[in-house]
Structure 1
């Protein structure tokens, strides 16, 4: 299939194998389709405090195959023989706009449900017409075949359609198969969905809510202001400008900026970044903190500050922050989210200082708040997560948070030491800014003592080991450099990278997540069973971060690796997976788009 990306006068095109697209409304919802449904997470989803799915598929009945997919970044056009479809999801509206180049019969397939609710029984649809609109009510009731009770109403979803006339109420459940989910071993990869109706249409506005009156009002608002919404959306995406000689690289850069931007939303009136679509529609604090640097680089200092301050307010008595916002009552701990947060505090301060903007964005009270939170963090970490002066983490608390064959990274990990060192360095900086000489000296001593200890215990003469008494080669060394480059001299970092890169390198332009000679290495993505996830799979955010580190240490020496990573990331974001978005992972053996197809930290790095 031919895929085209076009934004203003920049156009790039290439062939792609079964691509899909994802559009979001920046209000927590998204729309995603491919020629044929490949995941239960495709369709149209909207957010009303929690995520709901409404549509599984919409398409012109009896039309030929899709031959061309055009991404305008504010809308997507699909071309079939003699017919074009255009999809748009208006920003900040729980609606989609579906338009055709000529009137045709359109089939609507529904799978109304809460996003993670995969129960099959107790699903009821009612279809009627009211005042020129088609109104579909979905009611979910309990069923004793899956629930403890029978016939108790749980929730409703309303779908309101304007612009179409019903030609046939099909009202039929049929089984849909999802190949992407099956490849991931993510059950269920088969599900009964509901062919609701066929309608004659050329332009449809379809709106969603858990309230009938709200869905009708939403539909009316979008329908009345459709022309204006289209113009605003086009202006919005055209605002992401950066000129480069290479059109593909420039298109990839703009795609990454817009992809990250379209994951920015609000939860409880607090702005943040979803970890990704299709299924990571939560604020994961680690992923957010990693991604904040892209906001800083784009000069979005207010937004970066808002997210940073929200996370600072989440610091617990043990010096860490929870994995999620809002904080769950239980779940895995995070050893590195606090480290990433403090790295971004440092990055924001440094960026503002370089541009002489500190007083514009950080008041004296802000600086005192930051310093106090860093103190709280250090006291808690030393008290609860330090053994023999080294930072300690339990099982599954680093970003490599899956277990297979007793591989769980409990203990003293290199990147966690580097983050701790950066926290001490940041504390020293903030004490200097606030003229706290005593605190500055304490932080300086903590930093020097730990740096000496890490060099002694982790440097084996060739590279930094992944953990205390664990010489396994993993790409976490790049995170360690990124967090605290002062740990080694540039010559030693060069020696370190020289040693580890060949052990991790994939010829297509990425890094394995473990030494390819390690007995746990898996060259092919194994899906949800975790065998390959952190033991072989190549992570695009790590690849991009590694390229940044190589460029900072010795750009000339590592240029072949850097260019190969940049080329692979460009290919993936433009021509694979969800076009215009960076996927979570790839198999090590060959580049492919796997895992979450629109991943925040992949785009941000």
Structure 2
């Protein structure tokens, strides 16, 4: 099948053999995602409902195989072409409504799989069907969705009820060892129509009103716009592809942001994961980035660790460091009140972290607390220490106390002494395994090493991790635990071979900052691979999560936030050292007399 992208005046097309889907997300974060054939239980139309998502429509089935999928970046719509026939999907901006339009009347089989996003009831799935003129109303409940929810389907033709159950096997779920990979779905019936409007509601009246409200909603005008001739791509990735991919990455960040939080990804990482949100924060518009930081400044988090998911209980060892890095790298402005509130929290957190330090001033990561959370990775990961230096850096800037600056200088010296051995940074204290975390350390704290030392480190690590298609393995390819094929939800390959697109993008950015000429081959290869993944793999036009080591593929979550952010950093050629060490805190502040100070004799004192 051909896949085409339309973005502004750019239009490109490519032949794609692997299954490709589209995803459409509205302002409420309702989303619709469909492959050509059933691939995963996570495809369908999902409506935001309270603190979860309700899956509604599973699929619209029509006869024939599509020849081309078209993704309209500036219209939040996707079309499939079947010769002279065309079908188009779009979601309305502010309500849980999916609109299906076709160029001509056809027989359309509608399958439903109404349920909570992550819960699959075995029994008691109650579908009650009624009709109100040209609207089919579905009432649904089960042992999790105890309060009925409603789906109204407005049509412009004839409806024939079926009410049967059909077993479907999902090929991608099976391949990524994600069970259950076989489920029963409900065949509602067949519509002889050219237009269907699917509207979700908490009650019947709300669902029907929404369907009728958008009875005339159309995006078919997108198909008729005059555009630059569609260019078939060649073997080399050109600037038009990179520009469309950059727009896709930026749109992905927009799709995941709501109010003061950024969801980690879709279709299943639909919570605000702290690590993902903070790594992505500097790529957000300033107003949104500031709203996220405000949440942390005034949020309820104690101790020296942040939760894995904001509001949750399980902690991550890198969360507070990422918050500090995001403020510094993102050049986030704080008013005096917020500076003072953050200073109090940070000083208390550092006090608690100091109690956990070892003899070198390193802070530990407990089992599965690092970003490589499929591994125990207990001990002292290198990127955690780099981020600890950012906590101390922010502490010094907030309080103007040299206690934190001296402590930071000692920490950096000790990291250099105990991690930089044999010309490269070890992954953990006393663990010389080569992993790509050295590139994260370089992003977070480029001052760890000199330029010459970073080159030495890269010259040792890069060949051990390099994958010829343009990525980095998550462990040395010679390591006994290295797995060259992604095995999905089994832990075998996730952080022991699988290549992470956010890491690849960061690594390419680091290489560009250290020596762009020397590492040009690697930088170009990683940028090209990430561009191809965004445009032509899995979710067309959206950055994914991981690839197998053996070849460029796209597995894991189809729309991944920190992959998008890292691609934006790489596209923007961000100056790492200047961004990491510079700060808006250097600007004059009215908050002077109320500054907090710390000294060994007075660990918590305001004057």
Q: With structure 1 as the length reference, what TM-score do the two structures score? A: 0.87
CA contact (8 A) 2:88 2:220 kept: no
Cα separation, 1, equivalents of 2:220 and 2:71: 18
CA contact (8 A) 1:425 1:447 kept: yes
Give the secondary-structure state (helix, strand or coil) at the position aligned to 1:453. helix
Cα distance, 1:554 vs structure 2 = 1.0
Cα distance, 1:217 vs structure 2 = 2.8
Per-residue CA deviation, residues 300-342 of structure 1 (Å, 9 max, x unaligned), is: 11110111221233463322211112x22x43x2001221111
Say which of 382, 401, 414 aligns to 2:354: 382
Partner of residue 28, structure 1: 29
Mapped pair 1:264 → 2:263: no
Structure 2 CA distance for partners of 1:278 and 1:246, relative to 1, 3 Å? same
Cα distance, 1:167 vs structure 2 = 3.2
Q: What value does the CA root-mean-square deviation take over the aligned residues? A: 2.0
Structure 2 CA distance for partners of 1:527 and 1:582, relative to 1, 3 Å? same
Say which of 198, 205, 221 aligns to 1:206: 198
Cα separation, 1, equivalents of 2:143 and 2:495: 40
Partner of residue 345, structure 1: 327
Alignment of 1:318-467 (within 5 A): 318-325=303-310, 327-328=311-312, 330-331=313-314, 333-349=315-331, 358=333, 362-384=334-356, 388-403=360-375, 408-431=376-399, 436=400, 439=401, 441-467=402-428
CA contact (8 A) 1:122 1:140 kept: yes
Mapped pair 1:8 → 2:13: no
Mapped pair 1:291 → 2:283: no
Cα distance, 1:384 vs structure 2 = 4.4
CA contact (8 A) 1:120 1:192 kept: no
Partner of residue 145, structure 1: none
Cα separation, 2, equivalents of 1:416 and 1:309: 23
Cα separation, 1, equivalents of 2:271 and 2:359: 33
CA contact (8 A) 1:314 1:322 kept: no
Partner of residue 217, structure 1: 209
Deviates more, 1:306-315 or 1:189-198: 306-315
Partner of residue 81, structure 1: 83
Cα separation, 2, equivalents of 1:214 and 1:53: 17
Cα distance, 1:119 vs structure 2 = 2.1
Structure 2 CA distance for partners of 1:320 and 1:130, relative to 1, 3 Å? same
Deviates more, 1:194-203 or 1:584-593: 194-203
Unaligned runs of 5+ in 2: 226-236, 567-607
Per-residue CA deviation, residues 384-405 of structure 1 (Å, 9 max, x unaligned), is: 46665211111110000013xx
Cα separation, 2, equivalents of 1:314 and 1:463: 38
CA contact (8 A) 2:470 2:528 kept: yes
Cα distance, 1:463 vs structure 2 = 0.3
Q: With structure 2 as the length reference, what TM-score do the two structures score? A: 0.87
Cα separation, 2, equivalents of 1:279 and 1:526: 18
Structure 2 CA distance for partners of 1:98 and 1:227, relative to 1, 3 Å? closer
Give the secondary-structure state (helix, strand or coil) at the position aligned to 2:47. strand
Partner of residue 239, structure 1: none
Deviates more, 1:580-589 or 1:77-86: 77-86
Cα distance, 1:245 vs structure 2 = 7.6
CA contact (8 A) 2:160 2:189 kept: yes
Alignment of 1:40-55 (within 5 A): 40-49=41-50, 50-55=52-57
Give the secondary-structure state (helix, strand or coil) at the position aligned to 2:113. strand
Per-residue CA deviation, residues 157-216 of structure 1 (Å, 9 max, x unaligned), is: 211011334431111101001001001111100000011011122222110123222212
Partner of residue 247, structure 1: 240
Mapped pair 1:576 → 2:578: no
Cα separation, 1, equivalents of 2:238 and 2:505: 20
Say which of 267, 282, 305 aligns to 2:271: 282
Cα distance, 1:259 vs structure 2 = 1.4
Which stretches of structure 1, 4 residues or more, deviate above 6 A after TM superposition? 228-231
Cα distance, 1:453 vs structure 2 = 1.1
Say which of 481, 500, 522 aligns to 2:442: 481
